[in-house]
Amino acid sequence: MMETKQPRLDAPIPGMSLTHELGARPWQQPAQFPTVEDAVEHYTSRMMSDEFSDQLIDIMDMGIPLTTIANTIQLAGVMEGKHTVDVGLLLLPVLIETMMLIGDSAGIKYKTGLDDAPRSDRDSLAKRTVEKLKNEMENKDDDVEDIDITEDTPIEEVEKEEKPTGLMARRS
């Protein structure tokens, strides 16, 4: 049975998300952990839990830099009203170091995001794409070579007859 289209009258008005009472958002309330010590204790105890560390190891294994992960964690904390922005920024080195500790204890390789890679060494997106395509082409060629062509399969050559396109051309 087809659903009949009806106008949705309870849809949000554009810009509605930007208009809210002051203090209604969690970050507009007093922070849950006002000092650096409180916030560090909260995060370290949370990060040391098995559930969190397992997820973290998966993410680190994917090659995401620790600086990015730390920034995401602290930003989420600010949005949830756990701590203020300045406490969040001060927390960053502690979060990075804790993640390094977890990564080392798990014995995985991770990207810290702290290395100063020179500009020239950085691969641009275009360069990487070209290399990826080259690799794919090489792999394809290898696959073609690998195919066993013992059976003689006649290859039908299809010749396309060029049709005359002139005004005086014959029509069939």
The site for other proteins (CB under 8 A) is made up of 35-37, 40, 67-68, 70-71, 87, 89-94, 96-98, 100-101, 104-105, 113-114
Nearest-angstrom CA–CA distance, 79 and 77: 5
Nearest-angstrom CA–CA distance, 78 and 36: 13
Cβ proximity to other proteins: between 32 and 106 the closer is 106
Q: Are 88 and 78 in contact (CB under 8 A)?
A: yes
Instruction: Compute the least distance from the CB of residue 4 to other proteins, in Å.
Output: 50
Where do we find the tokens 């003689």? 152
Instruction: Compute the least distance from the CB of residue 72 to other proteins, in Å.
Output: 10
Cβ proximity to other proteins: between 93 and 164 the closer is 93
Nearest-angstrom CA–CA distance, 31 and 95: 19
Instruction: Compute the least distance from the CB of residue 160 to other proteins, in Å.
Output: 55
Q: Looking only at Cα atoms, what is the longest distance across the chain?
A: 91
Beta-carbon neighbour count of residue 27 at 10 Å? 14
Instruction: Compute the least distance from the CB of residue 99 to other proteins, in Å.
Output: 10
Instruction: Compute the least distance from the CB of residue 131 to other proteins, in Å.
Output: 25
Cα distances from 153 to residues 19, 107, 148, 150, 156, in angstroms, run: 71, 53, 12, 9, 9
